[in-house]
Structure 1
Amino acid sequence: MLTSLLLKYPDATFQKHYPSELTPMKIWFTNETQDEFIGIKASDLTQEEIELLRCLFQELSGDQKRLNESPRSIEWFEFLFNKGPAPSHDGAEYRVIQFSMKEKTDIQLMKEAFNHLLPLLTVLVLLDEDKGLIVEEKSDFQLDEEQLRSISHVIESDFFVSVSFFIGQFQPVNRDFIRSYKYECEMHSFSEDTLRSNYIQSVVTVLPPFMLKHLPVEWKEHIFNKTKQVFSEDTELIHTVKAFLENQSNISQTAKKLFMHRNSVQYRIDKFIEKTTIDIKTFQGALLAYLAVLDYESDNLPKK
């Protein structure tokens, strides 16, 4: 009977052994003989559904301290998920770097590895066997993309798991911090489902495609109709325009990136401007063109 719940909750985890970890991110149920177990994301369940499932099946309970043992980790977990008091912060700003792994591994060894690799002013908060948070205090020596890339390479080589990161924004530690974190969770989820080409994302990189997704279809059809026609007529043009925009509108850098002569790049940029009347050499024109590129890619290029 538990397997039938997969029709209602296709993202649930079904297995025939007791789950190795129990966390608040996923609610687990078992049958009377306890030979089948199903874990459903808490975000996929309403309170009424939880109460109904409790009447039909046995709910498993767990202690979050098995994942988060340090006082600071527990403090931050309680603050973010259980309406606990704000952690001690001395007025400093903090940000949350979310991470997730495609494969599960030994959680204790993974925890030790992260604690060894992370700098001093960070707190590791584990949410499940394959996801967690790095809470970082703002300082002169904060984590950057290169450091996160190095951490990812070490984890991948030692544990054979792929790690992706989403870098949040620094915020004062108050109740608005939790609301901002929830917005960033939504953007992180969107990036995992849609932007699969880069394993280090941030608010800056995800916001343009995230906004584009929520733009009404009829608006997109009206705004990007001309650029779609131009790109369809010359499919190579989109690569030139995108590279030009991603290289700070620098002709020489774009030519080097595409292994083209700078005059060829200049010709293609002028051709795009002439056909679309969008001057991508200006900030406003570049912004519109970049959204047009993202819209065209989402509709026409194969997903990675």
Structure 2
Amino acid sequence: MITKLKKVFPSLITYDSNSEQSPVGYKWYVTEDEKILGIDKNEISTKDEALLSTFLSPYSDVELPLTIKEKFWQDILHREQTLTENDHVSSYRFVHFSFQQNKVEPNLFREAIQSIFSKPLPILWLTDHQGILIEEQTEVLEESIAYNEIIDILMSDLYVKIRFFVGPFMTALGDAKQFYSRFVEGATTIFKYTDKQVISYKEAIPYLFADQVSDSFRDETKYFLLKEVLDDMELIHTIETFFACNLNITVTAKELYMHRNSLQYRIDKFVEKTGIDIRQFHQAATVYLALISKK
């Protein structure tokens, strides 16, 4: 059967788990004897697709066997893997990604991501709409990807909202397993507190700390610090924007399309009502944590 299909679809390949990466732009099928076949999408018409589905089962990109590099990381992170002298990268980091469910096929997301990187990127899927990218650096001068610079390109290409939680670069493979489990759990936590589409591990620390305290303590913090302004949503939004703009009056005024004097009036109003001068770093930090608790 494969030989006959090959005559109709010259691009047809069988999946090779020893490959460094999955070929992009392919639609995958599995035969009755569990062989995985891929055909270039450009060769498949709507009529062809309907015909193929009568004797082949569609195969999700998420279900594809792992590449050599993905299997290496899967073993490191989920099994009692004994490291050898050859198991070495100069540095690595985990990047959690998520996008809206049922809005884009995983293989399209994979293609878009792989087109940005200069070499194959291991991807470990958690579900069909979220997973972990593993960015390795094997050379000291190798540049890392700035995810806040590529996210608009990806969302424009895929027409889907994407979020990235970018972990810190690490050097010891022995630390990967323990950190990975905390990192995946942290990714679920931080997006309960922020609408940012790209957030670094350093930026996420306040959210992770806030989530560790009890609900009662968060409620008390919110009430005792912000009780005089909790119902003033406009004022709260102003202060949140002020923090997002690093306490910069000029930048905040531009962000809110507001005159500097009007913004200064609102900040003075907040200080007067709460007794907390958010122009001072330590007091601003206290309010910032209270606002996180509010969420």
**What amino acid is aligned across from residue 93 of structure 1 in structure 2?**
S
TM-score (norm 2): 0.66
List aligned pairs for 1:89-104, cutoff 5 A: 90=88, 92-104=90-102
Query: 2:185 — aligned with what?
Result: 186
Query: 2:247 — aligned with what?
Result: 249
Q: Distance in 2 between matches of 1:260 and 1:214?
A: 36
Equivalent residue for 1:67, pick from 44, 64, 68:
64
Task: List per-residue Cα deviations over 1:82-124 (Å, max 9, x = no partner).
Answer: 2224485645121111223333565555544432233337433
Equivalent residue for 2:81, pick from 80, 84, 94:
84
Give the secondary-structure state (helix, strand or coil) at the position aligned to 1:230.
coil
* Deviates most, 178-187 or 68-77: 68-77
Query: 1:164 — aligned with what?
Result: 163
Give the secondary-structure state (helix, strand or coil) at the position aligned to 2:80.
coil
* Deviates most, 198-207 or 268-277: 198-207
The question of whether the paired residues in 2 share the 8 Å contact of 1:168 and 1:202 is answered with yes
Offset at 1:273?
2.0
Rate the CA distance shift 1:276–1:116 in 2: closer, same or farther, 3 A.
same
Query: 1:145 — aligned with what?
Result: 147
The question of whether the paired residues in 2 share the 8 Å contact of 1:65 and 1:74 is answered with no
Query: 1:31 — aligned with what?
Result: none
The question of whether the paired residues in 2 share the 8 Å contact of 1:156 and 1:163 is answered with no
Q: Distance in 2 between matches of 1:71 and 1:254?
A: 48
The question of whether the paired residues in 2 share the 8 Å contact of 1:167 and 1:202 is answered with yes
Q: Greater share of helix residues, 1 or 2?
A: 1
Identical columns (%): 27
Q: Distance in 2 between matches of 1:236 and 1:162?
A: 26
Offset at 1:174?
2.8
Rate the CA distance shift 1:229–1:281 in 2: closer, same or farther, 3 A.
same
Offset at 1:68?
4.3
Q: Is 1:292 paired with 2:294? A: no
Query: 1:53 — aligned with what?
Result: none
Offset at 1:127?
4.5
List aligned pairs for 1:113-124, cutoff 5 A: 113-120=112-119, 122-124=121-123
Query: 1:239 — aligned with what?
Result: 237
Rate the CA distance shift 1:146–1:232 in 2: closer, same or farther, 3 A.
closer
Offset at 1:176?
2.1
**What amino acid is aligned across from residue 98 of structure 2 in structure 1?**
S
Offset at 1:241?
1.0
TM-score (norm 1): 0.65
Rate the CA distance shift 1:148–1:250 in 2: closer, same or farther, 3 A.
same
**What amino acid is aligned across from residue 153 of structure 1 in structure 2?**
M
Give the secondary-structure state (helix, strand or coil) at the position aligned to 1:132.
strand
List aligned pairs for 1:197-236, cutoff 5 A: 197-232=195-230, 234-236=232-234
Q: Distance in 2 between matches of 1:256 and 1:294?
A: 23
Q: Distance in 2 between matches of 1:107 and 1:244?
A: 37
Q: Distance in 1 between matches of 2:287 and 2:232?
A: 15
Q: Distance in 1 between matches of 2:83 and 2:121?
A: 16
Rate the CA distance shift 1:260–1:156 in 2: closer, same or farther, 3 A.
same
Rate the CA distance shift 1:270–1:127 in 2: closer, same or farther, 3 A.
closer
Q: Distance in 2 between matches of 1:84 and 1:65?
A: 23
Q: Distance in 2 between matches of 1:277 and 1:99?
A: 40
**What amino acid is aligned across from residue 78 of structure 2 in structure 1?**
F
Offset at 1:196?
6.8
The question of whether the paired residues in 2 share the 8 Å contact of 1:155 and 1:163 is answered with no
Q: Is 1:131 paired with 2:130? A: yes
